[in-house]
Amino acid sequence: MNQNYKLLISYDGTRYHGWEAKPDAEMTVEGKMETVLARMAGHPVKLTGAGRTDAGVHARGMAANMFLDMEMSEEEIRSYLNRYLPEDICVLEVKKVSERFHARYNAAGKTYRYTCYCGPVKPVFDRKYVCVLEREPDVARMRKAAAYLTGEHDFASFCGNPKMKKSTVRTVTSIEIARNGPYFYFTYQGDGFLNHMVRILTGTLLEVGYGMRSPESMTKLLDARNRAEAGYLMPARGLCLMEVYYS
Residues taking part in catalysis: 54
Rg of the chain over all Cα atoms, to the nearest angstrom: 19
The per-residue b/e assignment along 208-221, b for 16 or more CB within 10 angstroms, e otherwise, is bbbeebebebbeeb
Question: Strand 183-190 relative to strand 239-246: parallel, antiparallel, unpaired?
Answer: unpaired
Residue 94 and residue 85 in contact, taking contact as beta carbons nearer than 8 Å: no
d(CA 15, CA 150): 32
* Identity of the amino acid at 102: H
Residues 6+ apart with CB under 8 A from 213: 145, 204, 207, 231
Would you mind telling me the total number of residues written for the chain in this entry? Answer: 247
For the chain, report the end-to-end CA distance as a whole number of angstroms: 27
